[in-house]
Structure 1
């Protein structure tokens, strides 16, 4: 019966009825969940429907069931390329090419991945962005079955899926360059999928998760120290974390200090001059002042500024990489101020 449904799905695919093909492949999978071909073929139908995250998940499942199935690697690579996950795509395509070295499609797609990766590296210089703060924002639930939320720190995003009593063996979580795939599949129940294309890129090997009695906590390691405007891609501009993301300085507003700039009165005077000259007020003048410093800095100075700013919780802004790169920068509030922990 499962093979008959798969045959009908192939006919629908040939007729460009991709929704029907997906539905028929899904019914075939329900009857035979261990058939790698069904998952690989449904992945192809998903690609035609431009449901690329679902295609990646199906191709990954097909590879788990049959690591020698070359079309699964091809479809995972194709879907990842559509999602601009070129390094992940290249890894899958190279594995498929090692199994089928005479298949020309692999070489063509690998060459395209190399080209795209090269272009990304050329555009890697980070543009100055304004200082701002985005507080923890709950994400919209993908399904009524389980609710999920997220909050972030400068170096990571923490996603929580509120699912009670789920066993670890029923949870499958995969990390891509800009993809999070969460599948909760409890026998006898409808599977839960959370598969967003993330707002920013992550470092998959540094990501981790933990299945608890009432929830699943997922920690995504950011590839860049920026504040995500949302969990999903394309929902707002990225910004650098504002001072006080994880700490709060009391008494009066504190401007980031520097190992080279210790005269706070002088720094404030310069900021006020900027406000007068440019007719800017408040944070606008301060943001312009630091953007100019960052835009005129060389690579080492920018690295020093980012590292000192984040590690000191916004109280130190140094441009000396030789000093900053050799140690962890401690929080150093200005004289007359005290450092208070930020309650999350």
Structure 2
């Protein structure tokens, strides 16, 4: 019973239905509270829903059941980080790094903790210096001891990305940004972003994407702690990198803000020099896709979709479990083979698997 609920929860998580996944993980825990992986996965769902205190508690439970659960340490660190407990987060990431020294994600998050701790310390020093030089009446006094000027450090805006089977998600970590502060331009092979946030310096970036995406099915979400740009993959490929190394042509693109106003004109690399009117050709594309004889990766992806749609419950469970636990590197239809054990990550030869978290 618990294993079936766990598999269904993983399937909902892969499909980005985090609320449904959380409910199923909870039912699995109620059925059997001795499985550390269930608590670690539920912690991940809590993180996606920005319920960081609950994520911390679940990660603690997973660690108590299995002190070598690397994912639990990683997710506890993320939960603490988002609660602005940077010192504690760094300690947890360091413990996880000792368990898996080859996982560079721990190093990245330790550096993030150090940056946040430095910013917080600088802000505290600035506040203390300001209070020390003010009299009770509010008038500034001349200190007999030369003071060292303290400059408030503005935390840098950081950019990260991760992917699912269907989407690539670019995450820009910036606090208190509003939709009016954001200018985005999403094209088939290019993403351009400009931000003028109140809490940090102005930020702009232009990315030439490694593979094509569908701008009409992509979206932008602004929340208090970050900006998420969700790009719909045109093909069900596992991206090995976000940006292309190819530097063929350049195309002039107008920056269009979220309010519909035109901004500056910039040039950046693109694989196409044509403008697309998606409203006019969307119907044609859909009709072409129905009749198109797919080849290569597209044909393979189409085959997988058909196998899943036509398969019984065990086939679907096996495909969802193997894909989720292997980070998209293994896809099995044999539940008897994968149902009773964890599916290991098996990246293609010459490639390194890296999992990114928001």
TM-score range, shorter chain: 0.3 to 0.5
So what's the TM-score if we normalise by structure 1? 0.39
So what's the TM-score if we normalise by structure 2? 0.37
More strand by share: 2
